[in-house]
Structure 1
Amino acid sequence: MIKFILIVNKQGQTRLSKYYEHMELHKRTLLEMEVIKSCLSRLKEQCSFLEYKDFKLVYRQYAALFIVAGIDDAENEMAVYELIHNFVEVLDKYFSRVSELDIMFNLDKVHIILDEMVLNGSPVETNKTRILAPLLVLDRMVES
């Protein structure tokens, strides 16, 4: 199961956080700070999977952004690694070359995309067309 997904920039600022297990706000803040520090301090040559407390971290870097997923032992690291890449491809398709500013100013749309892909911590959809369908319908409704 995926416990959380974070999008963080190189300065350590959280741009998106999505938790699939209840956690108090104070604990979330501490967790994010430690996770960000762990991922940002790693070299590019190092593996993108690391053990952290009672779960594993899977992360990928895209330009100035890190996307980090916290998973339990039952989840496949490579599958989550590819899910992160698929998530970025969907964002790229929707925003035409997604940037940190796209994520910051369209956080609601990024959450919709993530909610289409992951439900209660389990990946449910990887087809880009199906993931974007509800968002495109919403965009058409706003335009009319």
Structure 2
Amino acid sequence: MIQYLLLVSRQGKVRLAKWYCTLSPKEKTKIMRDCSTMVLSRSAKFCNVVTEHKKDTKLICKRYASLFFIACIDGDDNELITLETIHLFVEVLDKYFGNVCELDLIFNFHKAYYILDEVLLGGELQESSKKTILRYIQTHESLAEESESQASSVASTVVGTVVAAISK
């Protein structure tokens, strides 16, 4: 199980943090600081698995462009499946945003969290098909746009009725 997933820039700024275990805010801050320091200080020649994180966990880190994707998993979990899960998340982001970059995640963080929720559920892989994930997201967005247009038309009708009543 993935305990948490962090997206960290090369400057050490956390761009996205999703927690699948219960921790205090103080512990989360310490973990974010420690993980980003540990991963940023590693040479690019090292492997993607950091076993010296804690005794029962491993860090899986992968760099895509200017972002480091860091996942903490249980000590007995498969590292390659976690790397594939990270890669799936990156591919879905790339398809959704069209060549995703760090700025897409900064300005559309709510969409990035929503996409992550479609990929992972409770720290486990929920859906492995990129097409299915993108179809879910597209359906959700079309329903949201439809409800917004209905809400605005209802609001304009109510305002028109109130204005007509006041003007009498």
- Compute the TM-score of the two structures, normalised by the length of structure 1: 0.95
In the alignment, the residues of structure 2 paired with residue 75 and residue 123 of structure 1 have an alpha-carbon distance, to the nearest angstrom, of 13
Q: SS state of the match for residue 112, structure 1?
A: helix
AA aligned to 1:94 is Y
In the alignment, the residues of structure 1 paired with residue 82 and residue 135 of structure 2 have an alpha-carbon distance, to the nearest angstrom, of 22
Q: SS state of the match for residue 81, structure 2?
A: helix
Match of 1:11 in 2: 11
Select the structure of larger CA radius of gyration: 2
Give unpaired runs (5+ residues) of structure 1: none
Q: SS state of the match for residue 116, structure 1?
A: helix
Pairs within 5 Å for 1:2-41: 2-41=2-41
In the alignment, the residues of structure 2 paired with residue 132 and residue 74 of structure 1 have an alpha-carbon distance, to the nearest angstrom, of 31
In the alignment, the residues of structure 2 paired with residue 16 and residue 44 of structure 1 have an alpha-carbon distance, to the nearest angstrom, of 22
* Structure 1 residue 143, shift from structure 2 partner: 4.3
Match of 2:126 in 1: 124
* Structure 1 residue 126, shift from structure 2 partner: 1.2
1:75 aligns with 2:77: yes
Give unpaired runs (5+ residues) of structure 2: 147-168
AA aligned to 1:74 is D
Q: SS state of the match for residue 131, structure 1?
A: helix
Match of 1:89 in 2: 91
Root mean square deviation, CA, Å: 1.1
Q: Deviations over 1:100-142 (max 9, x none)?
A: 1111111111111111111111112110011122221132234
Percent identity (aligned):
40
AA aligned to 1:138 is H
Per chain length, whose mean CA-contact separation is higher, i.e. which structure has more relative contact order (CA < 8 Å, sep 6+)?
1
In the alignment, the residues of structure 1 paired with residue 79 and residue 43 of structure 2 have an alpha-carbon distance, to the nearest angstrom, of 19
AA aligned to 1:46 is F
AA aligned to 2:32 is E
Q: Deviations over 1:5-55 (max 9, x none)?
A: 000100000000000001000100000100001100111110010110131
Range with bigger deviation, 2-11 or 109-118: 109-118
Alignment coverage as a number of residue pairs: 144
Q: Deviations over 1:80-110 (max 9, x none)?
A: 0111111101000000000111111111111
